[in-house]
Amino acid sequence: MRVHLSPTVRGTTLAAAAALLLAALGTGGPAHAASYGTPKIKLSASYLSGAVGATGDPVVTATISQSGADASDLTVTATKSSKSAVAGTGDLAATGTGGTRTLAVTAHAQGYTDLTVQVAGLGGKTATTTLHYAASPAVQFSADARYLTGASDASAAVDVGGGYVVVANDEDNTLRLYDGSASGAPVKTWDLDDALDADKEVDIEAGTRVGDTIYWTGSLGNNKDGEYKSDRNTVFTTTVSGSGAATSLTFGKAYRKLRDDLVAWDEDNGDRFGFKAGTADGQIPKEINGFNVEGLEFAPGSTSTAYLGFRAPLVPPKSGGKALIVPVTNMDKVVTGSHATFGTPIELDLGGLSVRDIRKNAAGQYLILAGSWAADDNSDPYALYSWDGAAADAPVKVLDLPTSDAGAWESIVAVPDLTQPGARVQLITDDGDADLYGDGTQAKDLDHPEWQKSRTTWFTLN
C-alpha cells in the first residue's frame, strides 16, 4: 500500500531532514562540540627557575590556539604539581589575552616540581604540557635582587647604558647581554671561541670600558688543579656599537703573554711577589701565595695605564696581608701585540681581603669589591671600599656585604656618584659552585641553562 503525504507534511519532513544534515555538517545551526578542534599549547621554554620570596622572577610565554574558537575564549591553568610544597597548582598565574599568555610561578620552598599546564578550549576540549620548575631559596635583600639566567658563573660585567649590562662567564667564552633590571635570559649572546681560537675557557675574570672598547682579561693563573692552560693567559678587546638593548659587540684583538711578562718583571725586581712560584706547575691559583687576577680598571685620567687587581697573592702572603694592584702602563699597546710594561705596584689595606673587582666612574671615584683569596664556600667576608685611585691614599670601607646566601660577590656593574646620599650600586654574584636547588648539584653542572643563574642586587652605599 502506498502512503501519500500532504504537501504540508512532506515539506515539514524535508525541512527537518535538511536541518539534520546542516547540523551534521556544522553549519546553519547552533555550534556543537564536534566543530572545535583539539586546543594546542606551546611554551617558549619547558624549564623555568625562580626563587622563594623573589620579585620579578623569570617567566615563560605560552602560545595557545584552537581551531574554530577565538583564542581569547581559552583559559590556561595548572592542573597538577609533582611537589606542591615547592609550587602548587594555584601558584601558576597566567596573564594576557589572545593567543599568547605569560606564565609566572610563585615559589614556596627550595627544590623542583613539574607543573602540568592545561589549556581549556571550547566544547570541553583540553590539552596539556609540562613546565619543569626549579626554585632556589630566599636571599637577603630579595626585593632588590634579580636573576640572570642562562649561565651561573658571572665573573665580569660592563655597563652599556639603559640598564643593560654585558656579562662574562668564567666557564665559557660567551659574552651575554642582559637587561640588568629584570630577571630572565640574555637578550643577545656572542660566542667568542673561534675569534679567540680557544680550546678551553679563557676564564674571563674582569673587564672595563674605555670609549667604545671593552678590555677583558682571563685570570692568567693555573686551573684549579694547578695546571697551566694557555687560553687563560689571554687579554682581549671587543668594540661596542649601539647601547642598551641595541648593543652590538665585535671582537678586536688578543694578547697571550701578559702572564709571562708579569713573571719576568717580578723576577727582574727581586721576585718580590713570588709570581714564578705562584705560576709553577702544581700551584693552585686561589691560595694566599697563588697567582690569580680578578680586577681590571684604568688609572685616573688614563686610557693606557690599567690596574690589574690580584685575588692572589696577598702581600705578604699571610693573614692580614695587603691586596696587590700592578699597573700595566701600555695596556692599549699590549692588546696589539706589544710586551707589557709596568709601573710601581700598589699595596692596599683591605682588611686582609684581596681584589675581586675594581671599577671607577667618570669622576674618577673607585669602588673595590674585596673578598677572600680562598676557593671555599664563599662564606668568608666581602666588603666594598671606596678609593681615589692614588697609590698613596688608603681605601675606605663603605659597606660589608651579606655572606649567608649562595654565591660569591664577583662584579661591580657601575660606580654611582659616591658623594650623593643614598647612592646605589649594582653587584653580581658568581653562583657556579652553589647548590641552588638543594639536590647537591652545583649550578654550573645543571643540565638546563634556564636553571643556571647568577644574582644581581642593588645596595645603598651611604
pLDDT mean across residues, the chain: 93
For residue 344, CA distances in Å to 296, 307, 324, 361 come to 16, 11, 11, 23
pLDDT surpasses 70 at 27: no
Of the candidates 455, 381, 369, the residue with the CA atom closest to the CA atom of residue 415 = 369
232 and 103, same structural domain?
A: no
Tell the burial category of 35 from Cβ atoms under 10 Å away from its Cβ (0-12, 13-18, 19+).
middle
- Edge-to-edge strand ranges of the sheet holding 188-191: 154-161, 164-169, 174-179, 188-191
pLDDT at 31 over 60: no
Residues 128, 247 within the same domain: no
The answer on 45 and 24 residing in a single domain is no
The reply to whether 85 and 164 lie within a common domain is: no
Give residue 12's pLDDT band: very low, low, confident or very high (50, 70, 90). very low
Residues 149 and 103 grouped into a single domain: no
Given this model, what pLDDT does residue 379 score?
A: 79
Least Cα distance to 410 among 384, 430, 381 occurs for: 430
Residues 216 and 83 in one domain: no
pLDDT surpassing 90 at residue 185: yes
pLDDT exceeds cutoff 50 at 343: yes
**CA distance from start to end of the chain:** 107
pLDDT digits (tens, 9 = 90+) for 243-293: 999 999 999 999 999 999 999 999 999 999 999 999 999 999 999 999 999
**Number of domains the chain is built from:** 3
Last residue of a domain, one of 78, 108, 136: 136
296-340 residue pLDDT tens: 999 999 999 999 999 999 999 999 999 999 999 999 999 999 999
Q: What is the pLDDT of residue 3?
A: 39
- Over range 13-24, report the average pLDDT: 40
pLDDT of res. 136? 98
pLDDT band at 34 (very low <50, low <70, confident <90, very high): low
- The domain that holds 369 is classified in CATH as 2.120.10
Do 203 and 352 fall within a single domain? yes
pLDDT score, position 335? 97
Q: What is the CATH number of the domain that holds 128?
A: 2.60.40.1080
Q: Is the pLDDT of residue 170 over 90?
A: yes
Which residue, 103, 136, 169, sits at the end of a domain? 136
In this structure, the answer to whether residues 232 and 370 fall within a common structural domain is yes
Within this chain, do residues 402 and 263 fall inside the same structural domain, yes or no? Answer: yes
Span 205-225, average pLDDT: 98
pLDDT per residue over 60-112, tens digit each? 999 999 999 999 999 999 999 999 999 999 999 999 999 999 999 999 999 99
Closest CA to 218 of 287, 149, 135, 308: 308
200 in the same domain as 343: yes
Q: Per-residue pLDDT tens for 418-457?
A: 999 999 999 999 999 999 999 999 999 999 999 999 999 9
Residues listed for the chain: 462
Do 321 and 225 sit in the same domain of this protein?
A: yes
Average pLDDT over residues 392-415: 96
High-pLDDT (> 90) share of the chain, %: 91
pLDDT-based confidence at residue 153 (cuts at 50, 70, 90): very high
Residues 65 and 199 occupy one common structural domain: no
Structural domain of 241: 142-460
- pLDDT at position 429: 97
Cα–Cα distance list, 397 to 107, 161, 409, 418 (Å): 36, 27, 16, 12
